[in-house]
Amino acid sequence: MLFRIIPSFHGALRVNAILLASLSSSVGIAQELVLEEIIVSASKRDASLMDLPQSIQAISGDDVKKLGLVGVEDVTSLVPNLNLNASPKRGGGFNIRGIAALSEQFSQFATVGLYLDETPISDGFANFDVALFDIERVEVLKGPQGTLYGEGSLGGTIRIITKQPELNDYSSEIFTSVETTRHGEMSYRLSGAVNLPIIEDTAALRITATRKEQGGYIDATSMTGSVEDDVNGMDSTYVKVAAKLQLSDRFEITPSLLYQKQEANAGVVDAIALPDLTGYANGPNDLDEDLKIYSIEANYDMGWADIVSNTSYLDREMSSRDDDILTNAIIGAAFAPSDVTTQLFDRSIETFTQELRVVSKGTNKVDWLVGAFYRDRKYSEDVSIENDVIGAIIGDPRVFTQDNKADFEQLAIFGELNYNLSDKLTLTAGARWFEEEINSNLDFGTFSLVTFGFESVLRTPQIKEDDVLFKLAASYQPTDSSTFYALFSQGVRPGGVNDRVLDILDLLTPEEEGALSTFDSDSTDNYEVGLKLRMFDNRLSLNMAAFYIDWKDIQLDRSFQNVPGPEFTVNAGKSSSTGLEIEAVASPSDALQIGAFLGVNEAEVDEETETSSGLIPNGAKLPFAPEFSAALFGEYSVQTKGGNTASVRVDWRHVGERKAGVDVVGDPGYELDDYQTLDIRAGLSVGNWTASIYAKNLTDERAEMDSFFFNDSLLGDALASFVRNRPRTFGVQLQASF
């Protein structure tokens, strides 16, 4: 594909890994290892995880620290059926239960909702990696969450809950780590947090900061033969300041400011024609990103109900420079070795959101909540592809330019009701109405394009749609330690606007090309049954869930078959995802905890679909959804004679084969090999201090996380490449709390 952007893998991110997800139920080292009650706010009210009729994974802040999780993408290694679609340097795309984002249009919404506290932060084109430090917990809600969380929660929702200011307690903590990676650079991380009471019972301030320097491990070779080592590193800085103001016994507000800056050198992947962990690059592949989130959360206690308001403004600026390796190879074959094609991107996202809800209090025959949501998202993208060789011929280095602007405005009303038929049986019903309006202004064309017969085009497509989503559930709890449930839930993702469809060979009529200027919404219906059991005095936890997800009008990227040009998004009929998840954690003694996980997931196209790029056959596998996955972990901790605590933990995981793209007749997607990884960690706690040594990917597995340029229409497999996981890494971390 002539203008396709090459994704890359960056950071020490264990991607597409599937591990037993019961870490959050672990208690402190060397204490009696029984499973404690877990309280979550996934239902927009505090509730026990056991009581909720859906599959939810909660990872505690203590586990985040103990395991040295760096960013939200690391959570994929802890949650069954939560995967990452490789990790392009503009951000990764999460998928849950095989419901993956399969296109990269600028107007695309995500398939997994991502929230920081009460603020939605997901981006279909480029998720950003929030630093996981000073975190209360991470909640992963599996299956569509459309009624409470709105658009983009087709497969599920991830909620990052940060620690809030405490009015009367001074506290602080620090965390630091150093890592060395085989075939790569050193990595460093330093984090700190402090809670400062300002006025007793009235005001407090909490400040959190993280600095991370992630070493690269992919070398770059240009078409002219020059080599640069370890080019895919990344540096990031994260600062969050939050205040709590208790204005009365009933009313409190929590304003906060988050700032994050990332500088990445990515865009290079492991080419099969080159030595190990070496890829093609003819110039810098840079990304600079600045993110600011301003928010105010307000809570008013009316006695019989709480009024909760969250107002937020997100400002995200991205600037990147990409080496267009495929265009370079084509030009080099026609003229001479070329290293002069560059793609320049400048993106801006500004999002204002307001949610207001009223939530009933206490335990009643009927518990309820109602709310309203408003979002205004403004997106701007400037793209330029420049080539000096062509520029010398036509008198303009800009081979292609486009200027995209779009405004996404949504209004929604939602509610949920729990009816307690008895102390054992509860029925839940929820609904959400929303209206989405998209107005866009897309400007394509340069002098060079006009020279070769292309018109400079200005398009202003508009989309307006509305829908109603539903949720129904039944939960039966015969005892306090057992829950059986059945669930039906829905999700939706709004439609969007395509970049210009470059019909180079005039394959389409003007009407057909116009029809491809937009794409429709897609939706999911989830049917799920499950159980949650705690047995043998809470020494054994067993969770099981079986699900079937019906995915209609799936949005995916295609291009004209065997014709170079940019990809565009189409709706491709009906798909489904069927699966079974089993999680088990046992504490056979006070010192030992072991766990196992088994997952089966069959995600495929259910009906033959004709697209402009070819026929998608019935039964084609959906990408990045392994049919089989398994994991084991074991942790042993002992009390030393001096009263200190020593522990050791081993994690092993297996991820099965999965597709890197949707099959089209005559153009099958590449099948990524299965892989296994092994991690080992040992720690010693002395008073407030804990020191750990660890090894990640101890066997130095070269996992295939994604593939590019296989069976290319012009160059065959000459540039075929893989996104690779991080090689074997050894590290040391030190943390303390005061």
**Longest distance between any two alpha carbons in the chain, whole Å:** 82
Confidence of residue 1 (pLDDT cuts 50, 70, 90): very low
**Is residue 245 predicted with pLDDT exceeding 90?**
yes
Instruction: Please state the pTM of the whole predicted model.
Output: 0.88
The yes-or-no verdict on residue 302 having pLDDT over 50 is yes
Q: Which residue is it, tokens 């995981």?
A: 653
Q: Check whether 83 has a pLDDT greater than 50.
A: yes
Number of folded domains that form the chain: 1
pLDDT at 404 (0 to 100): 82
The share of the chain scoring above pLDDT 90, in percent, equals 46
Half-sphere exposure of 436 (CA within 13 A, CB side): 22
Looking at the domain assignment, is residue 32 inside a domain? Answer: yes
State the pLDDT at residue 462. Answer: 79
For the cut 90, the answer to whether the pLDDT of residue 398 exceeds it is: no
Residue of 570 and 657 predicted with greater confidence: 657
Question: Is residue 401 predicted with pLDDT exceeding 50?
Answer: yes
Let me know if residue 713 belongs to a domain.
Answer: yes
More confident residue, 434 or 708: 434
Distance CA 491, CA 486 (A): 17
Examine residue 231 and state whether it is found in any structural domain, yes or no. yes
What is the pLDDT, as a whole number, of residue 89? 38
- pLDDT, residue 559, reads 61
pLDDT in tens, 450-489: 445 555 556 677 788 899 999 999 999 999 999 999 999 9
Distance, in Å, from the CA atom of 114 to the CA atom of 132, rounded to the nearest integer, reads: 14
The pLDDT, as a whole number, for residue 339 is 52
Q: Which amino acid is at 586?
A: A
Question: What is the spatial distance between Cα 337 and Cα 335, in angstroms, rounded to a whole number?
Answer: 7
Query: Does pLDDT of 10 surpass 60?
Result: no
The single-letter code of the amino acid at 241 is V
What CA–CA distances, in Å, run from 320 to 91, 161, 385, 617?
A: 12, 30, 12, 36
Q: Is the pLDDT of residue 611 over 90?
A: no
CA 713 to chain centre: 31
Q: How far, in Å, are 406, 504, 555, 647, 684 from residue 463 at the CA level?
A: 11, 26, 16, 57, 58
Between CA 139 and CA 105 the distance in angstroms is 28
Q: Does the pLDDT at position 55 exceed 80?
A: yes
Q: What is the per-residue pLDDT for 29?
A: 37
**pLDDT score of 614 more than 90:** no
What pLDDT does residue 2 have? 29
Which residue do the tokens 């979002």 mark? 375
| Closest C-alpha among 400, 76, 78, 129 to residue 266 | 129
Q: In this structure, is residue 626 part of a structural domain?
A: yes
Q: What is the arithmetic mean of pLDDT over 367-387?
A: 89
**Stretch 378-397: mean pLDDT:** 76
Residue 502 domain-assigned?
yes
Residue 144 has pLDDT above 90, yes or no: yes
Tokens encoding 325: 């390796």
Confidence of residue 313 (pLDDT cuts 50, 70, 90): very high
In the prediction, which pLDDT does 25 show?
35
- Lowest-confidence segment of 40-49, 202-211, 338-347 by average pLDDT: 338-347
Which comes out higher in pLDDT, residue 285 or 339? 285
Establish if 8 belongs to a structural domain.
Answer: no
H helix or E strand, kind and range, residue 331: helix 325-334
Say if residue 15's pLDDT is above 80: no
Dihedral over Cα of 433, 412, 107, 514: its sign: positive
Task: With cut-offs at 50, 70 and 90, classify the pLDDT of residue 613.
Answer: low
Residue 183, pLDDT > 80, answer yes
Q: What pLDDT sits at residue 447?
A: 46
- pLDDT at residue 330 is higher than 70: no
Q: Is the pLDDT of residue 13 over 50?
A: no
E strands within 122-231? Answer: 135-142, 156-162, 171-181, 186-199, 203-214, 219-221, 227-228
pLDDT confidence tier of residue 231, bands split at 50, 70 and 90: confident
Of residues 533 and 345, more confidence is placed in 533
> Does 399 map to a domain?
yes
Q: Degrees (nearest 5) of the Cα angle 194, 199, 200?
A: 95
Establish if 10 belongs to a structural domain.
Answer: no
Q: What is the pLDDT of residue 110?
A: 84
Higher pLDDT, 593 or 70: 593
* Residue % of the chain over a pLDDT of 70: 80
pLDDT reported for residue 57: 86
Rounded CA separation 246/255 (Å): 12
Confidence of residue 5 (pLDDT cuts 50, 70, 90): very low
- What's the pLDDT score for residue 610? 73
Which CATH number is 638's domain given? 2.40.170.20
**Band of pLDDT at residue 577, cut at 50, 70 and 90:** very high
Instruction: Please give the average per-residue pLDDT across 262-282, as a whole number.
Output: 76
Rounded Cα distance between 381 and 4, Å, is 16
Residue 538's pLDDT is what? 87
| Domain that residue 417 falls in | 23-171+178-314+322-737
pLDDT at 598: 86
Q: Is the pLDDT of residue 172 over 90?
A: yes
Question: What does pLDDT average to over the chain?
Answer: 82
Q: Does residue 258 register a pLDDT over 90?
A: yes
Q: Read off the pLDDT of each residue in 287-310 and give the average, rounded to a whole number.
A: 94
Q: Which residues of 349-377 are buried (b: 16+ CB within 10 A; e: fewer)?
A: bbbbbebebbbbeeeeeebbbebebebeb
Mean pLDDT of 152-160: 90
Most confident of 138-142, 525-529, 606-610, 666-670: 525-529
pLDDT tens column, 430-456: 999 999 998 887 776 654 454 455 555
Question: What mean pLDDT is predicted for residues 91-112?
Answer: 76
Quote the CA–CA distance of 425 and 477 in Å, as a whole number.
6
pLDDT of residue 384: 80
